[in-house]
Structure 1
Amino acid sequence: MKYNCIIVDDEPHAIKILESYIRSLDQLKIVGTCSNAFRAINILNNEKVDLIFLDINMPKLLGTQLLKTLQYPPKVIFTTAHKDYAIEAFELDAIDYLLKPISFERFLKAVNKFCHTTTVEVAPANQGPGFLYFRAERKMVKVFLEDIFYIESYKDYIIIHKETDVVKVKLSISAVEKMLPQNLFLRIHRSFLVAIHRVTAYTKYDVEIGKIELPIGRSFSSVIQKLTDNTSIIANLDSP
């Protein structure tokens, strides 16, 4: 699987070094490079990006500040000549923090860490019912999409609620949201994703899945219209 990445750095020489490193790896594909945070936002709005190599000390907007503006940020590896931002970087769930000049060995270690923490693999669409593989408890666990009731965010984990059991995975809810079909799953709250066909009732304040009530977040009020628009999908999935 290839992961799309971008490089954000105000030093052309640093960009060239990272470009050469990335192009030597089969698992990464560069979809953009830029010299400031504002151009990075434009790329992120137009491309599917899995990983950012992000400089911190840039003019007008620091790399850490850029990351804080993103509602659903990709994974990030910080690249900087300064040690001072390390604590803040890891508070932002950075995969790694690379100090310039960056050796290929150190770069490769960071990329391997990214690959290991990207724990979801999606089955190809032509291979039967949709499912995901999650790394849970040191093994890959298959979860069929149709079995999911809702997904809950808990600290650094997600909890996948099914009819008879749950699966706990070290992954952000934003990351798993990108993996799920938008016509079948809906983000209703910063902490909850629901399977649309499992919704049994809803108001403008909450969603019911059987006896479970889940709140609709204030910034997710548009989900009511999406639930209404998906009524036909719900009916089709529940039909024999």
Structure 2
Amino acid sequence: MTSLHKCIIVDDEPPAIRLMEKFIEKVNFLTVEETFTNPLKALQYVEANQVDVIFLDIQMPEISGIQLSKLISQDIKVIFTTAYSQFALESYDMGAVDYLLKPVSFDRFYKAVMKLQESKMTDAITVTEEYFFVKTDGKNKFVKIFLKDILFVEGLKNYVSIQLKDEKIITYSSLKSFYESLPSQGFIQVHKSFIASIKNISKIDNDLIWIDEHELPLGNTYKKAFFEKIMENQLLKS
């Protein structure tokens, strides 16, 4: 069964929203959760709900689509929809999946959303009990990483940075997909951009976590699950 990508549409022009809704209805791996003409309301929604993909206009009142994309979780894929071609380079620099120029045709839309499926396949990581391989900068270059050596993982839009004891490895993946591939007993998401190795946490102080000399933020959204997990692992005693 094909897993669904939960989508929202953000555009200050209702006809453009209706067109995107019509296109999405034709694709079996997409589903529309909500639509917004106000980008600030869209921001509130993504902070409280699971969203996989945003179809995002660029020129809107209050904040632009470019600005909004900088505020949302790095795990959310962005497909820009706009009548202006001059923003294309900036959007790709920010890791957008695609950039659709209005008026958008269905065949061009479909090519864009197929990239979501391709990136999902690329994200897949096979993890054994002790190690896994990740693809790095070369076409056929893979690096073996032992789970015990991971300090933390940082999301960098369409990439993740894996911090080891003595080096850092960067590979193409969403943070969400990477986290789902890791053993849950050894790792915990502590912030929208960070996953921590539980056994390597040395200190916790309010909204900060220390792993060796590294300081990681502890996000409010993740605090409850984090403290429940570390109590399970007996890292803290009441």
TM-score in same-fold range (> 0.5)? yes
**What's 1:65 paired with?**
67
TM-score (norm 1): 0.70
User: Which residue matches 1:207?
Assistant: 210
SS in 2 for 1:84: helix
Q: 1:185 aligns with which of 170, 185, 188?
A: 188
Moved more, 66-75 or 1-10: 66-75
Instruction: Check conservation: 2:125, 2:134, Cα contact below 8 A.
Output: no
RMSD: 4.2
Q: How does 1:37-76 map onto structure 2 within 5 Å?
A: 37-72=39-74, 74-76=76-78
Q: Equivalent residue for 2:90?
A: 88
Partner of 1:32: 34
The whole-number CA distance in structure 1 between the counterparts of 2:103 and 2:223 is 50
Shift of 1:46: 3.1
SS at match of 2:85: coil
Alignment of 1:217-228 (within 5 A): 217=216, 219-220=217-218
CA contact (8 A) 1:134 1:169 kept: no
With over 3 angstroms needed to count, the CA separation of the structure-2 counterparts of 1:35 and 1:207, relative to structure 1, is same
Secondary structure in 1 matching 2:86: coil
Letter of the aligned partner of 1:232 in structure 2?
M
Query: Following superposition of structure 1 onto structure 2, how do residues 56-205 of structure 1 map, counting pairs within 5 Å?
Result: 56-72=58-74, 74-118=76-120, 119-120=122-123, 136=135, 149-153=150-154, 157-160=159-162, 169-173=171-175, 176-177=178-179, 184-187=187-190, 192-199=194-201, 201-202=202-203, 204=205
Where do residues 5-20 of structure 1 align in structure 2 (5 Å cutoff)?
Answer: 5-20=7-22
- Residue 233 of structure 2 is matched in structure 1 by 234
Any idea what the Cα deviations from partners look like across 1:88-112, whole Å, max 9, x if unmatched?
2112211110000111111011101
For the residues of structure 1 that align with 2:115 and 2:179, how far apart are their CA atoms?
21
CA shift at 1:226, angstroms? 7.5
**Paired residue total:** 221
C-alpha spacing 1:102/1:149, structure 2 compared with 1 (3 Å) = same
In 2, Cα distance between equivalents of 1:153 and 1:116: 22
TM-score w.r.t. length of structure 2:
0.70
1:46–1:234: structure 2 CA closer, same or farther, 3 Å change rule?
Answer: same
